[in-house]
Amino acid sequence: MTTQTTPGLSETPWSPRSWRDLPADQQPPWDDPAALDEAMAELSRWPPLVFAGEARDLTAALGDVCAGRGFLLHAGDCAESFDGVGADAIRDKLKVILQMAVVLTYGAGVKTVKVGRIAGQYAKPRSSPAESRDGVELPSFRGHMVNDIAFEAAARRPDPGRLLESYHHAAATLNLLRAFTKGGFADLRRIHAWNLEFAAASSEGARYEQVAAEIDRALRFMAACGIDLDREKSLHEVDLYTSHEALILGYEESLTRRDSLTGDWYDCSAHLLWIGERTRRLDGAHVEFLSGVRNPIGCKLGPAATAAEAVALCERLNPDREPGRLTLISRMGAGRVRDALAPILRGVAEAGHPVVWACDPMHANTFTHASGYKTRRLDDVMAELRGFFEVCRDTGTWPGGLHIELTGDDVTECLGGSEEVTDADLESRYETMCDPRLNALQSLDLAFEVAELLRS
Ligand code: TRP
Ligand code: MN
């Protein structure tokens, strides 16, 4: 048994189900407890999606980031859809992530740790449990892990069978990702093939081609020097880790297993799990659950967070002060990042906690456009990023990572960019089930900006 206890609460030893004794925010109002139990029992018999050793590798890689020897690229959908498991959609998302990784690795000269919001990002916290339209009130859509987005009573009813469907969709996605990342698709010699067709004609696409051509030349140079590139596995493969918000705790509990090698508990639904801004209360179920699994974990911090809170989260989530265990993801808003983040960075540094500091420049810059669409301006996203880098520099903190929502599809959900998405464009390809995502061009734009910020 693990002996971790819950400080300030009773001396309950941690177990995969100890979260059940604490207030659990954002859990669906499951109305059939027997069906839920049955789904969880089934899920707990199925094989792990990821392995403890892989999670440990990610912790080690993030430990390097913590020490200033790497950069975390954490990217993917706001909410994955069960309809999005087609090979093309997954491949195109991967292409954008690989392109960004190339730009960061080459442009800034630092190792890039790649983590997708992928293969499990099926649940969403909601600001209101119900949604009203034309006088009809139904439960809110909570992501495909819970219910369906259609505004109909049957579709909105939380269905425990969706926990099992989530597992299958995650398994199918992960299987394809493993094939793509280890089977030749991510080979640096295929670097040109990652430029999406609609991106190639743009200025970002051209800028990417230039970097790709330089890398080509460097590879030819090394080959000409007598280095056998075929034998350099690292050129042909990438490690792409998976992650999602650990929101629906029944799903996470059911996929939590004891590692046969070390005896430690791992949440085998993904390599990295994070706690959202809405569920990070210290005395809550989400913090309790993630405190006891040994995966690397993340926690979002919004503008209301205090330095004392951040330090308390560090104590609770990383009491052994293991570098790479904890990534804190700042999402303050372009206007507030400087004032809000600086005292937190200082407080955590004074307490001596090792943390990977990542910037989510999207979530606090969301607004509802006059047309009714939820959107974000690329200018605000860039401004928050620059603010983040500034505060890091002023406080002597390594800017460790970027957390963004993107898609490989040619969408018009966020405003701006050099191939500008204008106010009038929003409605043309607005496809997200939840928050507005950057398209491939906007994502590349951002990667070039971050590479420059990292260099300076
Ligand atoms: N394996 C190395 C890395 O992940 C190099 C590499 C291979 C790479 N394919 C890549 C880097 C694609 C970025 C994108 O850094
Ligand atoms: Mn989101």
Query: How far does the centroid of ligand 1 lie from the alpha carbon of residue 230, in Å?
Result: 14
Class of CATH domain 18-455? alpha beta
Closest C-alpha residue for ligand 1 atom 3: 238
- Checking if the pLDDT of 279 tops 60, the result is yes
- Residue 118: CB atoms within 10 A of its CB come to 25
Ligand nearest to C-alpha 229 = 1
pLDDT at 11: 62
CB under 8 Å to 228, separation ≥6 — which residues?
none
Ligand nearest to C-alpha 100 = 1
30 — pLDDT class (breaks 50, 70, 90):
very high
Question: Average pLDDT in the 409-413 region?
Answer: 94
Q: What is the pTM of this model?
A: 0.96
85 — pLDDT class (breaks 50, 70, 90):
confident
Ligand nearest to C-alpha 188 = 1
Q: State pLDDT tens for residues 370-407.
A: 999 999 999 999 999 999 999 999 999 999 999 999 99
Query: How far does the centroid of ligand 2 lie from the alpha carbon of residue 363, in Å?
Result: 6
Query: How far does the centroid of ligand 2 lie from the alpha carbon of residue 300, in Å?
Result: 12
Query: How far does the centroid of ligand 2 lie from the alpha carbon of residue 209, in Å?
Result: 30
Ligand nearest to C-alpha 187 = 1
Atom of ligand 1 at shortest distance to CA of 99?
14
Residue to mutate, 71, 99, 112, 188, ligand 1, most ligand atoms under 8 Å from C-beta:
188
Higher pLDDT, 195 or 119: 119
Q: Which residue has the tokens 């974000």?
A: 376
- Residue 248: CB atoms within 10 A of its CB come to 26
Query: How far does the centroid of ligand 1 lie from the alpha carbon of residue 106, in Å?
Result: 10
CB under 8 Å to 183, separation ≥6 — which residues?
none
**What values do phi and psi take at 3, rounded to 5?**
-110, 10
Query: How far does the centroid of ligand 2 lie from the alpha carbon of residue 52, in Å?
Result: 27
Query: How far does the centroid of ligand 1 lie from the alpha carbon of residue 235, in Å?
Result: 6
Tell me the CB-side half-sphere exposure of residue 427, using CA atoms within 13 A. Answer: 5
- Residue 399: CB atoms within 10 A of its CB come to 22
**What values do phi and psi take at 201, rounded to 5?**
-80, -10
Residue to mutate, 102, 105, 194, ligand 1, most ligand atoms under 8 Å from C-beta:
105
Q: State pLDDT tens for residues 297-338.
A: 999 999 999 999 999 999 999 999 999 999 999 999 999 999
Q: Give residues whose Cβ lies within 5 Å of ion ligand 2.
A: 78, 435
pLDDT at 196: 83
Q: State pLDDT tens for residues 144-157.
A: 999 999 999 999 99
351 — pLDDT class (breaks 50, 70, 90):
very high
Atom of ligand 1 at shortest distance to CA of 111?
15
Query: How far does the centroid of ligand 1 lie from the alpha carbon of residue 104, in Å?
Result: 10
Closest C-alpha residue for ligand 1 atom 11: 102
- Checking if the pLDDT of 286 tops 70, the result is yes
131 exposure class (CB count in 10 Å sphere: 0-12, 13-18, 19+): middle
pLDDT at 3: 46
Q: 378-395 and 337-350 helices cross at what angle (nearest 10)?
A: 30
Binding-site residues, ligand 1, Cβ < 6 A: 98, 101-102, 105, 112, 186, 188, 234-235, 237-238
What is the share, in percent, of the chain residues with pLDDT greater than 90?
94
9 — pLDDT class (breaks 50, 70, 90):
low
Q: State pLDDT tens for residues 416-437.
A: 998 899 999 999 999 999 999 9
- Mean pLDDT over each residue of the chain, to the nearest integer: 95
CB under 8 Å to 357, separation ≥6 — which residues?
327, 328, 330, 345, 392, 397, 398, 399, 400, 401
Pairing of strands 71-76, 136-139: unpaired
pLDDT at 200: 80
pLDDT at 6: 46
Buried b (16+ CB within 10 A) or exposed e, 14-53: bbbebbeebebebbbebeeeeebeebbeebeeeeebbbbe
Atom of ligand 1 at shortest distance to CA of 236?
7
Considering only CA atoms, which of 162, 163, 175, 61 is closest in space to residue 118? 175
What is the share, in percent, of the chain residues with pLDDT greater than 70?
98
Atom of ligand 1 at shortest distance to CA of 239?
4
Considering only CA atoms, which of 378, 368, 350 is closest in space to residue 439? 378
Considering only CA atoms, which of 398, 378, 367, 333 is closest in space to residue 71? 398
198 — pLDDT class (breaks 50, 70, 90):
confident
Query: How far does the centroid of ligand 1 lie from the alpha carbon of residue 413, in Å?
Result: 29
